A and B are shown apart, each in its own frame.
Chain A
Amino acid sequence: MANFDQLSAAQIAAGVRAGDFSATEVARASLDAVDSREPQVQAFLEVSSDLALEAAERTDQARARGEELGPLAGVPCAFKDNMHLVGTHTTCASRMLENYESTFTATCVRRMLDAGATPIGKANMDEFAFGSSTESSAFHRTNNPWDTTRVPGGSSGGSAAAVASGEVTVSLGSDTGGSIRQPASLCGVVGMKPTYGAVSRYGVVAFGSSLDQVGPFGRRVEDVALAMNALVSPGRDPLDSTSQDCPVDFLEHLDDPIAGKRVGVVPQLMEVQGLTDEVRDAVNGAARALEGQGAQVVEVELPNIASAISAYYVIAPCEAFSNLARFDGVRYGYQEQGCATLAEQTSLSRAHGFGEEAKRRQMLGAYLLSSGVYDTYYYPAQQVRTLITQDYERAYEKCDVILMPAAPRTAFKFGELSDPTQMYASDMFTISNNIVGNGGVSVPLGLGRDSGLPVSAQLQGPAFRDRMLLQFARAIERAYDASGIVAPDFAGKGGDLA
């Protein structure tokens, strides 16, 4: 029988339902693939074999009792390590939380499990999601499955790499400034950041509360749609007061033609410094491909978008400073021993528990929120937020979705971007969508002409039009015949369904 990495999520669920193979067999196949591929990929911080086999066993028992199985029955899934899952640690890839055991299960994780998914483990990330390469993980790096000398992107680098290497079928990441869409692009998989509020944040360790959004990775648009259904179909989460009802079926209309719809392109964005020729040409090619399917390409303007990255690096550090203030070593987490005073213990626990980038962001936030400085930066940043929101609203009067790159370049080498501001520029195309709260998805366009590494397009849409985004993503996927590709060095390595 085939290797499980060749199957879509729907095929796995259907196979389990039909009895072609058991959820336990799929779980074992996934764990076997993890065993064989993980030494080169290092996508996981923790592999939850016991939980996976227990969950699969429950699915198989439910089937034996004749119960209706969930739409993700038996589908192997990885979770970014900022998401709580009882029975696993939640470290946020930080020394601060190295031994932290989840005390409750995040709503997004719970919903994936309720839909039948099998939890394979917790994926590596940049420390507390601060970064675009997963290099700031306190524990180890994660390698890009397409070239293990290169980064997988970040901050959800582990979630992207686990899917790209075929270790799991789907995974969840979180996206504060591009942390799903950029690693999806660098790893050649589909990654979706839904509209802010569509997916509950309850149980996901916060970075920037007004920007964070959980979303899925998959090797197929259809897999991502299936995961989105699991995440939103139970309705708004009463435990997250910023969550909203998102009552749509993402599979419905997924394959509808896009003929007659309008795709916006922003000429100014295609000329920005740092955007490589191969990415620009590939994205222009995607526009032509959509045109080829009957869509109309229109030029739109986003006059204030250049300010998005500045506004983001005010708002995000402020929220990060506040959200990470709770890590003081008093109740849990890294605690400096032998301190004479509480103040010393708090200071040293934080100084030694956090890595460089985590400290840099919190220091920045503490400065930006201090009295006298606040008015100079925080208010203007919020005003910029409003201006960019208005830019998008005007643009969406002329088009249904906007097409642009997901990342300015393909995967870079470890250590290549040593200046933090260079790293921050990795998110130049994704950040504006977090600023305004709209949904975005990155879709693979095959390999770059110069680098030979995965290149993606990003589709952005108006708030709560995420289903339409996936419809466009599916159109691109059809055009590129890019569905279900596992990074070639890893495809088929372990993971055969017995």
Chain B
Amino acid sequence: MRSLQEVLQDWEAVIGLEVHTELTTLETKMFCNCKLSHDDEPNTNVCPVCLGMPGALPVPNKKAIQSIVMAGLATNCQIQKHSMFYRKHYFYPDMAKNFQTTQGPVAFCMYGHLDLEVSGEGASERPDGVETGTDTVAAHDVAAPVTVRKAEDGSYTVPIRILRIHMEEDAAKMVHVGGEEGRIADATESLIDYNRCGTPLIELVTEPDLRTPEEARLFMEKLQQTFRTLGISDCSLESGSMRCDGNVSLRRRGTHELGTKTELKNINSFKSLHDGLEYEIRRQAEVLEEGGIIYQETRHWEPSRKRTVVMRVKETADDYRLFPDPDLAPFDLSDEFIDDCRARIPELPDAKRDRYVASFGLKRADAAQIAGDPVTAGFFEEAADGADGRVVPTIANVMVNLVPAFDALTPAQVRSISTLLAGDAITFAQAREVLEAVNGTQDDPERVVDERGMRQVTDTGALEPIVDEVLGRCQDQVQQYHDGNKKVVGYLVGQCMKASKGKGNPKLFNQLLRQKLEA
């Protein structure tokens, strides 16, 4: 198979995502008062409603409606005041009523978009200056297609349109025992846990606007950041509280007719999403280039073997016999309700990133990384609170590069270590050592630095004699420097550090060495 970049020179990959998110932060299920928890003993969080017992009736969870409206507002959707629930029928024991309660043609949230900023290595997956977006729906505020132009550093921004976000209920969890690969065929036993049945679920469907696996990965990442910031879900791909199916088809560059798509399942990490799509794009290209046909089918990503395999072929469209649920009155959301949802939306990651850049002078990448996760952002803001303005960018640097390795640091400790680093009192390597020492305690890093005598000498008067001594005994290296090998300074700094028993500041040694060598 040819590489992704080669393939994408000749072919345009048209990718759309369907993302299911469980509203894990709610206390109760979508249509009953059962506790929302999948970790309890199987079939303990159940009642006549979520077990589909005859005579039971659904009552909608108002907080779930609030969550989906917040999700819609945060993704620039148009909130639909009038919508209703429908019944989608299929016979399978994971849905106790043999129909799923979901939404029909009109979802609570329609026609939104998220803007992706693509930079770094991943940005190279997309050829420059090509159109993006397939205009299937005119109701969007965002025009499509758009032509994407890359900046000098290869980065680019592209809007990804969202068709809809609708509300539905999750199915029960089934475990098939004894069959091949956990499938129901040939299974000797099938176990069902209805604890998950009736969990409030929101399904987001994008327009087919994504063009590279990196864009798909970034979209999911941004969605995860947004929903986590809203506090509506823990959005875990690993545990399945956030699930993603990718639809992908290829068409020749410059053509407009859509190719046959395949649906990618079993994506439980951002890497799986990227690599699964990459494989599928390369596989489809190979099939098409050899004159073969792509079948509309569902394919299972096998991360261990780095390939997709056919799950099932869709020969005909399933007939779900969708019709309005007569047990649930149509919704008529009031302006007050929608305004209340809007008021509940905290500062979203993009706005937070921009504020960090503008008011703290953070690097855009650091700011974006911190702003993306509400817990990290909160930690950062607490650490930055009360810190010297010049220290804050260092705090961000520490947050991005050091903190993730530890599990129990306090914001005060991060503020303290960052202050030391910003004042050149310790090196980055020393900072890591100090954090190891204070992790899980309330100890002040500054005290540890002093106790261990780590504080670096930043007085040039004390450092100069060391520099002179080193230059005196390393004549070979001095000659090399004058011959043009400027990198040799690194060796000399090392010698100075050794001579100072690690207490001299390497930055200052570097400066002094260069001064004296150039003199």
Contacts and interface: CB of A to CB of B under 8 A. Distances in A.
Q: Do A and B bind each other?
A: yes
B57 A239 contact: yes
Interface residues of B, number: 31
B451 interface: no
Contacts of A106: 55
B57 A201 contact: yes
Interface stretch (B45-53, B274-282, B422-430, B454-462): B45-53
B93 A328 contact: yes
A361 to B, nearest CB: 15
A203 B57 CA distance: 8
Contacts of A313: none
Contacts of B326: 208-210, 242, 319
A330 B59 CA distance: 24
Contacts of B58: 241
B56 interface: yes
B411 to A, nearest CB: 45
B57 A366 contact: no
Contact of A103 (B48, B97, B328): B48
B55 A330 contact: no
A202 B89 CA distance: 22
B219 interface: no
A325 B97 CA distance: 7
Interface string A243-272: 000000000000000000000000000000
A369 B323 contact: yes
Chain A interface main SS type = loop
B171 to A, nearest CB: 13
Given A322-B89, A325-B97, A370-B319, A241 B56 contact: no
Contacts of B55: 82-84, 90, 104, 106, 202-206
A378 B323 contact: yes
B96 interface: yes
B52 A326 contact: yes
A97 B48 CA distance: 16
B257 interface: no
A346 interface: yes
A418 interface: no
A241 B321 contact: no
Contacts of A21: none
Interface string B179-218: 0000010000010000000000000000000000000000
Interface string A74-106: 000000001110000010100001001001101
Contacts of A326: 52, 54, 96-98
Interface in B29-85: 48, 51-60
Contacts of B323: 318, 322, 369, 374, 378
Chain B interface main SS type = loop
B474 interface: no
A427 B97 CA distance: 29
Contact of A331 (B51, B57, B89, B319): B51
B87 interface: yes
B48 A104 contact: yes
Nearest to B194: A331
Interface in B306-356: 317, 319, 321-323, 326-329
A337 interface: no
A64 interface: no
A39 interface: no
Among A104, A325, A369, A371, chain B packs the most CB atoms within 10 A around the CB of A325
A239 B33 CA distance: 10
Contacts of A240: 57, 59
A2 interface: no
A203 B99 CA distance: 19
B89 A103 contact: no
Interface string B357-397: 00000000000000000000000000000000000000000
A238 interface: yes
B517 to A, nearest CB: 81
A342 interface: yes
A106 to B, nearest CB: 6
Given A103-B48, A242-B327, A374-B323, A325 B91 contact: yes
A327 B326 CA distance: 19
Contacts of A242: 57, 326-329
Among B58, B97, B184, B323, chain A packs the most CB atoms within 10 A around the CB of B323
Interface in A50-91: 82-84, 90
Nearest to A327: B54
Contacts of A241: 57-60, 327-329
B28 to A, nearest CB: 13
Contact of B93 (A84, A201, A342): A342
Among B53, B89, B190, chain A packs the most CB atoms within 10 A around the CB of B53
B198 to A, nearest CB: 14
Given A104-B55, A241-B60, A374-B321, 11 more contacts: A90-B55, A97-B54, A104-B48, A202-B56, A205-B54, A205-B55, A239-B59, A321-B321, A322-B323, A325-B91, A369-B322
Interface of B: 48, 51-60, 87, 89, 91-93, 96-99, 184, 190, 317, 319, 321-323, 326-329
11 contacts: A83-B55, A90-B55, A92-B54, A202-B55, A203-B55, A206-B327, A208-B326, A241-B57, A241-B60, A328-B93, A369-B321
Interface of A: 82-84, 90, 92, 97, 100, 103-104, 106, 201-206, 208-210, 238-242, 318-319, 321-322, 325-328, 330-332, 342-343, 346, 366, 369-371, 374, 378
- Closest 4 pairs between A and B when the two form their complex, measured CB to CB: A210-B326, A369-B321, A325-B98, A209-B326
